[in-house]
Structure 1
Amino acid sequence: MNMPRREVLVFASIGEIISRKGSQMDQGGFCKKGLFVIKKVSEILTARIRREGKCVVEQRLVLVVLLLLWLTNGWVIEKMEENHNHTLVYPGQIFRLGSHQQISDEVKAIVGNLQWSGLGPTQISDVIVKIFNGQQNVGVSEAKLKSFIKRNERHMGMEDYQSVLTYFDSIRVKDLGFIYSINLAKNGMLRGFFWVDSRVWSSYQVFGDVVVFDTTYKRNRYRWPFGPFKGVNNHRQSIIVGCGLVANETKESFEWFFRAWLNAMGNKAQDAIITDECTSIIPTMTSVFPNAVHRFCSWDVAKHAQEHLGPIWYRNHDFKMDWSQCIYRTWTEEQFLIRWEAMMVKYNLKGNSWSSDKFAQREHWVPCYLRKQFFEGMSSTQRSEGLNSYFQGYFKGTMTLYKFVK
């Protein structure tokens, strides 16, 4: 009796079955053979033993094969359903299927080049879609492309970060007074770093009575604020007494930054510091520099006054004169309080939230409250702006952290 030959396909994993199934698709991505129903070999073996009405010889042959396979507990195809149980995908939308989404080496190379040029994820995605004349020709969906761009950005950032650390270590070999500190997030990502060399440290010991700090300069590919500490030497020249970069302008970032600087300077705090009106900086002053006099940049206060009091500032000429008299031509605290109250009543500013906040912070920006402290003749961060203009000739918005530091 000739028995029909029965072929049993064995697979080590489901992934292998799916791979074999994928090979049965046409160029348009449509199934030719239908949908496989997959079961574990051990389950099929149990089911075969319980079946009746089969040829004994065939059953024995199958049982022998399945028994051998059951020992490794692999996978077999028990049956195949010819009819589709789902709506077929249109040919132009096949790239949205997870099994068909592959980022080509060409796309990866273009993404890398665009990231080095300083473009963001959305800009890069738009450029690639235009280059390939449509999302369907890119090979992946917009969401998956942006996800890859962000992953690649993190990878490039880690390489950049390692390059900075290697550079710092090489400097420390040559300059034993070189000090640097890094701030890492819980996930291991870099959040900021600070550095000073021996020359900067020596300058601060002599000219560190008053320092100016601001983070308005952000010319690097990550848009990280650059925070230099600046002072004035005996020739009235601006000097840098420490600098660093932070990933964002939050209270936690500034607190770490200021503590790193204070530690590098041997815990010798300055007598006075001038900063912008940054809401994240104000609360850190008390905790990190409790004995230092904190002054707001006068130019910054005037700019914000024009923004928040615009209608009165520009339409009423008398208000500017009263403001100037109250702020800059008042010599005692008592006189300031009387003039401020009169100005609030005259221009109906009693309920103005910005005016109330400024009054509560008057010790940080009104000159009559700061006359007892030596400020090297400075009342603003204007010297920082001059240094920023100097930096602008050397730094570009596409620079990596490594090139920026170097």
Structure 2
Amino acid sequence: MLDPNQKERVVRSNFSKRTDCGALLCVLFEDGFWKVYKFVEEHNQELVERPDKHFLPTERHLTQLQKHVIHSMSKLNLGPVKAFNVMKTCFGGFEDVGASKVEFKNYKRQINLFIGEYDAYIVVKHLNEKKQSQPNFAYDYITDEENRLKGLFWCDGQAKRNYHVFGDVISFDAMYRSNKYSMVFVPFTSIDNHHCNVTFGAALLASETADTYIWLLRVFLKAIGSQPKVVVTDQDPAMKKVVSVVFVDTRHRLCMWHVMHKLSLKVGVRLCNSTNFKERICGVVWRDIRTPEEFESEWEAVIAEFNLEDNDWLSDIFALRESWIRAYYRMEHMSGLMRTTSRSESENHFFGQVCNSKATLVEFMTHYETAIEAQRHTYRKNDHESRYKRPQLKSSYKLLEGQVVDIYTKSIFCDVQAELIGVADCINQRYEDQPDGFVKFYVNDFQQPYEHSMHGVIEILFLAFFREFPKQYILNRWRKEASPNCSPELLISREYMTELDPDVQSMMREELSLYKDHVQSYTMKVQDMQIVAPPASSRDRFAKITGQYKNDKNPIRVPDHIMAEEFYNTFFNAFTSESSEISTVTPKTITKAINENIKHDNFYGTHSIPPTLESIEDYTWWKERFIN
């Protein structure tokens, strides 16, 4: 009986190239010579013209270079089609690539098939290998009763060092769906001394429960070793409880950008677009310098003007105002994380390059490591410019401005320079000595609504005739020397060298330089002497790419709610129906049998292409994967 709810099976139209042509050439190797014993010249179909030769299947093959390009571009979250377009541009045309988009996509599909259900296992194994080679690397994971991955956290030594410098205020949220299993990506971030994002670690979570977040924060605390002063999160009601349970000495704040990002949805798009309500309410929220009383008065005035007293969402966020409005904790240092729209959009864009809803966990980890490498390269570039480039002094206070150049990074200097220029309008050099020993100073407009909170401090410094910044007002996290601009190995050597006599230091530098030159020369000699090995099989190439060289008896499995059935449905019937003895089959007959099975018994509605089988060992391995 037919199921009325079952969808109608869709069958694609296939055009065949076969015409039962009898043309052939038969040869025989005899007495050391090839002999033609049969030749039929007549064809019953048109021969392919030379300009169309590259469309023939026999002319379409991926070279090792092209396979390397596909994998390398995958690290940048660029798919096989973009890799093909790059190769087309490099080679000069489609006909010169030697393959089509289909071959590029099929190669990527074969890698994903190789990964299969071992996706989570490969990633955990990769992190474990990092732990073995990097003692300061930390990772942890949890699984359910079926050994399926529920949560995964990791951070390296550089992330830990960054945390101890810039980790006074951290942010984490779970708004990124990063892979095909819908696991949530949770990065821990802050702001470095160049006002750029810096990442302290990251996690993947299969579910967003309170217990999962408590596990994550405890693992993070164990890896990092100390609690942050302030944690900024989105408006998740469970977050407040979770943060208070784990970070008992930490203040919890809400991200202003996440709160205001919901404004149009909660109030109505028509109201925001047809009136100046959004402009008015954002002006009340984002303005930095005001007292709590001023904020409440202006907020209530805007709400009353637009008759929104009954809006539950606006009432709720107003009740939480002490957690996200700057007027209620102006004296707390927030490092810019409470935070501007451009800051949050920059962070979203950065991690958006990592996330891909169709990516495997192996691909995601590759994307993440590439992105972090780029982030740290940007930091070193900014650090280099701050150390070795001198800005132009523009204010009237060259002495203080010159000190700022030596103390702060380039971006922080620009902020302070703007303060020095702006505060000059407020300075009035008139002062009076008081009988009690104090000095009374006069300013032109002390109530002026300045853009930055540093104005008051700078005014006092000027009015008291200071000629240098007191050290107690200089935060180490904004200094040039906050984080050494070098590798951990070089950092250790520098710390050791500073304890030595200058003459000894000079001799050691010369010896180290000579040693480095010797190593480079020997490396070049070894490369020249290398013997070109025969090309590896598909399985060996995929194993090298993914890091999976042998199967585990009880591997960590991917989350069950999005189990990738296409890895099994495509070929399971094909392999189980192939009943021939292994010793009597060839890769050609195996591939033909699989193709016929998929063509005639495509129960699951998939049109995936079977893997390339280059040997009997390849066939045996693939068959064990899909049957067992």
Q: 1:264 aligns to what?
A: 223
**1:323 positional shift:** 5.6
Residues 191-234 of structure 1: CA deviation (Å, up to 9, x unaligned): 11101111211111111112222323323121222111112222
Tell whether the 8 Å contact from 2:187 to 2:199 is kept in structure 1 after alignment.
yes
User: Which amino acid is 2:260 matched to?
Assistant: A
Tell whether the 8 Å contact from 1:179 to 1:196 is kept in structure 2 after alignment.
yes
Q: 1:130 aligns to what?
A: 10
Q: 1:401 aligns to what?
A: 361
Structure-2-length-normalised TM-score? 0.38
Which of 306, 316, 326 pairs up with 2:264? 306
Residues 305-347 of structure 1: CA deviation (Å, up to 9, x unaligned): 2222225434443674266236636611223333334444444
Tell whether the 8 Å contact from 2:122 to 2:362 is kept in structure 1 after alignment.
yes
Q: 1:294 aligns to what?
A: 252
Map 1:311-330 to 2 at 5 A. Answer: 311-317=270-276, 320-321=279-280, 324-325=283-284, 328=287
Q: 1:220 aligns to what?
A: 179
Which of 201, 206, 209 pairs up with 1:247? 206
Say if 2:57 is the partner of 1:177. no
| Residues 388 and 324 of structure 1, relative CA distance in 2, 3 Å threshold | closer
Q: Aligned partners of 1:275 and 1:290: how far apart in 2?
A: 16
Tell whether the 8 Å contact from 2:150 to 2:206 is kept in structure 1 after alignment.
yes
SS of 2:258's equivalent in the other structure is: helix
Q: 2:195 aligns to what?
A: 236
**1:354 positional shift:** 0.6
Q: 1:14 aligns to what?
A: none
Residues 21-78 of structure 1: CA deviation (Å, up to 9, x unaligned): xxxxxxxxxxxxxxxxxxxxxxxxxxxxxxxxxxxxxxxxxxxxxxxxxxxxxxxxxx
**1:299 positional shift:** 2.4
Identity %: 29
RMSD between superposed Cα atoms in Å: 3.2
Moved more, 224-233 or 340-349: 340-349
Unaligned runs of 5+ in 1: 1-89, 97-124, 134-155
Tell whether the 8 Å contact from 2:233 to 2:255 is kept in structure 1 after alignment.
yes
**1:386 positional shift:** 3.0
Tell whether the 8 Å contact from 2:354 to 2:364 is kept in structure 1 after alignment.
no
Which of 351, 357, 371 pairs up with 2:316? 357
Q: Aligned partners of 1:308 and 1:157: how far apart in 2?
A: 42
Which of 275, 284, 296 pairs up with 2:242? 284
Tell whether the 8 Å contact from 2:179 to 2:357 is kept in structure 1 after alignment.
yes
| Residues 348 and 394 of structure 1, relative CA distance in 2, 3 Å threshold | closer
| Residues 395 and 298 of structure 1, relative CA distance in 2, 3 Å threshold | closer
**1:368 positional shift:** 0.3
Larger of the two Rg values belongs to structure: 1
| Residues 393 and 378 of structure 1, relative CA distance in 2, 3 Å threshold | closer
Tell whether the 8 Å contact from 1:178 to 1:198 is kept in structure 2 after alignment.
yes
User: Which amino acid is 1:220 matched to?
Assistant: N
Q: Aligned partners of 2:347 and 2:287: how far apart in 1?
A: 27
Tell whether the 8 Å contact from 2:285 to 2:325 is kept in structure 1 after alignment.
no
Tell whether the 8 Å contact from 1:226 to 1:246 is kept in structure 2 after alignment.
yes
| Residues 389 and 333 of structure 1, relative CA distance in 2, 3 Å threshold | closer
**1:243 positional shift:** 0.5
**1:171 positional shift:** 1.0
Tell whether the 8 Å contact from 1:230 to 1:384 is kept in structure 2 after alignment.
no
Say if 2:233 is the partner of 1:275. yes
Which of 125, 144, 157 pairs up with 1:166? 125
Which of 179, 198, 210 pairs up with 2:169? 210
Q: 1:373 aligns to what?
A: 332
Q: Aligned partners of 1:219 and 1:323: how far apart in 2?
A: 31
Residues 160-202 of structure 1: CA deviation (Å, up to 9, x unaligned): 2222221122111101111111122344321111011112111
SS of 2:185's equivalent in the other structure is: coil
Tell whether the 8 Å contact from 1:271 to 1:292 is kept in structure 2 after alignment.
yes
SS of 1:277's equivalent in the other structure is: coil
Tell whether the 8 Å contact from 1:327 to 1:336 is kept in structure 2 after alignment.
no
Q: 1:48 aligns to what?
A: none
Tell whether the 8 Å contact from 1:182 to 1:192 is kept in structure 2 after alignment.
yes
Tell whether the 8 Å contact from 1:210 to 1:270 is kept in structure 2 after alignment.
yes
Q: 2:160 aligns to what?
A: 201
Residues 344-377 of structure 1: CA deviation (Å, up to 9, x unaligned): 4444333321122102211121120131211222
Unaligned runs of 5+ in 2: 14-114, 367-628
Q: Aligned partners of 1:323 and 1:352: how far apart in 2?
A: 17
| Residues 350 and 171 of structure 1, relative CA distance in 2, 3 Å threshold | same
Q: Aligned partners of 1:190 and 1:328: how far apart in 2?
A: 44
| Residues 247 and 174 of structure 1, relative CA distance in 2, 3 Å threshold | same
SS of 1:281's equivalent in the other structure is: helix
User: Which amino acid is 1:212 matched to?
Assistant: S
User: Which amino acid is 1:299 matched to?
Assistant: W
SS of 1:290's equivalent in the other structure is: coil
User: Which amino acid is 2:360 matched to?
Assistant: T
Structure-1-length-normalised TM-score? 0.56
Q: Aligned partners of 2:116 and 2:213: how far apart in 1?
A: 21
**1:275 positional shift:** 2.4
Aligned residues between the structures: 262
Tell whether the 8 Å contact from 2:277 to 2:306 is kept in structure 1 after alignment.
no
